[in-house]
Structure 1
Amino acid sequence: MTGRERALTYLREVVLSDPAREGTFVNEQQLAEDVGLSRTPVREALLILASEGLLKMLPQRGVYISPLSAREIRELMELRGVIERYAVTVPGLDAEATGTAMLGVLEEQAAMAGDASRRDARAFIELDRRFHQLMVDAAGSSLLSRTYAGLRERQVRVGIAALRAGDGRWQDVCLEHRAIAEAVRAGAVADAHAAIDAHLGKTSQALLAL
């Protein structure tokens, strides 16, 4: 792994996925020290992320982690909905295997949600991301999978933030996921679409209410 790749991984998985970093500045030199690299690969990584609209590099001020606006949240959920609804309609989808795999991830989420001492928001949302990515990957389109995976930083950030809506959100996510997974496993496309829309809609409501 090159220095730039190491810096990108750190920025994506640690910095950009943390809702607490929204609306704050981070120092380029400090980032380099945190990753154990020189500033050059860190700057290269920052330029890539800035081109993706995930942060802003402001002269004389530093690196600014832009908060997601209400419009960006709505657009993210709409795009996820389009991709996920399409994924479950693809001919040849192995509905039973896909739904069963999704339920396996859900069991891990449910165990965490049901035990307050084990709750870890980042780990919970990583499971959430795996749950949805399984559904998209089952469509068998590498382009679709890469496009969806490219939403990762935004998904993790908003997912963690949505859990702040209250303790009940942890359990609600599991219930919503179960409805999606069971509909997928049964090959009930209309029910899967309705469950996907309900889940994304409730997540949006939780975020916009914060």
Structure 2
Amino acid sequence: MCTRRWPVAPSGRERAYAFLKENYLADPDRQGEFINEQEVADRIGVSRTPIREALFLLAAEELVQLIPKRGAYVAPMTGREIGELMELRGMVERHAAERTLARGEPPLAAMRAALEKQAGLRGAEQAREFIAWDHRFHSELVAANGNEMLTKLYDGLRARQIRAGVVAVFSATGRQDAVLDEHERILRALASGDAAAAAAAIDTHLEATLRVLLDTA
């Protein structure tokens, strides 16, 4: 007899953790603010207890700072953090490019689809969605490398990547068009099968983003 297993609904802590990452920690406008626990609890329909549990998890990841008697603080990213984020991204993405090309399986179609979605988004009001697709473009490459632990590590950078990316798009005139061009160069290098060219295109893209971010840090 086959026993049907129903999907397990996420706990209140899991819902709060995901909500905070996507709606607070990925939002540059939240930098320098304290998180209102009751406001979050009301928005997702849970008590404050799972909110606090989620904040402890986020503090362990250094995404928020827990200040005694004041609460959870979303600190602006420092120049050091931005530099380390881009360095880590470069290491992971270059490795993924090399691995996928060695197998002859770069995810060109999935990356092209993400780039086309990005290209249809313009203006400040769509900056977060533009950067969400930016992350998708890069994460398709990383996921295709076949290393699940590395993919999970990269996915853990999502909140920081989106926050930093939105700041970059807002801070530099023409940055959206530049990002699209840099992504196109990465795709062309992958399509050519040239691992060195792909690594160089990835480095050029990340270095350009880093320069913009350091100018605003």
TM over 0.5: yes
Task: Give the equivalent residue in structure 1 for 2:103.
Answer: 92
Paired AA for residue 176 in structure 2: W
Structure 2 residue ranges without an equivalent (≥5)? 1-9
In the TM superposition, residue 4 of structure 1 has moved relative to its aligned partner by 0.7
Matched, 1:147 2:153: yes
SS at match of 1:63: strand
Structure 1 residue ranges without an equivalent (≥5)? none
Task: Give the equivalent residue in structure 2 for 1:11.
Answer: 20
Q: How many residues align?
A: 205
* Per-residue deviation, residues 2-26 of structure 1 (Å, max 9, x unmatched): 1111101110110100011111112
Matched, 1:68 2:74: no
Paired AA for residue 162 in structure 1: A
Paired AA for residue 186 in structure 2: I
CA contact (8 A) 2:121 2:130 kept: yes
* Per-residue deviation, residues 38-79 of structure 1 (Å, max 9, x unmatched): 011111100000000000111111210011100000000000
Paired AA for residue 189 in structure 1: A
Task: Give the equivalent residue in structure 1 for 2:4.
Answer: none
CA contact (8 A) 2:189 2:195 kept: yes
CA contact (8 A) 1:7 1:42 kept: yes
* Per-residue deviation, residues 137-175 of structure 1 (Å, max 9, x unmatched): 111111111111010110010011100123400100000
Cα distance between partner residues in 2 of 1:119 and 1:144: 32
Aligned-residue CA RMSD (Å): 1.3
TM-score of the aligned structures, taking structure 2 as reference length: 0.91
The percent identity for this pair of structures is 46
Paired AA for residue 42 in structure 1: I
Task: Give the equivalent residue in structure 2 for 1:191.
Answer: 197
Distance 1:141 1:93, change over 3 A: farther
Identify which of 50, 53, 64 aligns with 2:59: 50
Which 4+ runs in 1 deviate beyond 3 A?
none
Cα distance between partner residues in 2 of 1:111 and 1:72: 30
Matches within 5 A, 1:1-210: 1-90=10-99, 91-95=102-106, 98-113=107-122, 116=123, 120-210=126-216
Distance 1:110 1:170, change over 3 A: same
SS at match of 2:176: helix
Paired AA for residue 30 in structure 1: E
TM-score of the aligned structures, taking structure 1 as reference length: 0.93
Cα distance between partner residues in 1 of 2:141 and 2:208: 19
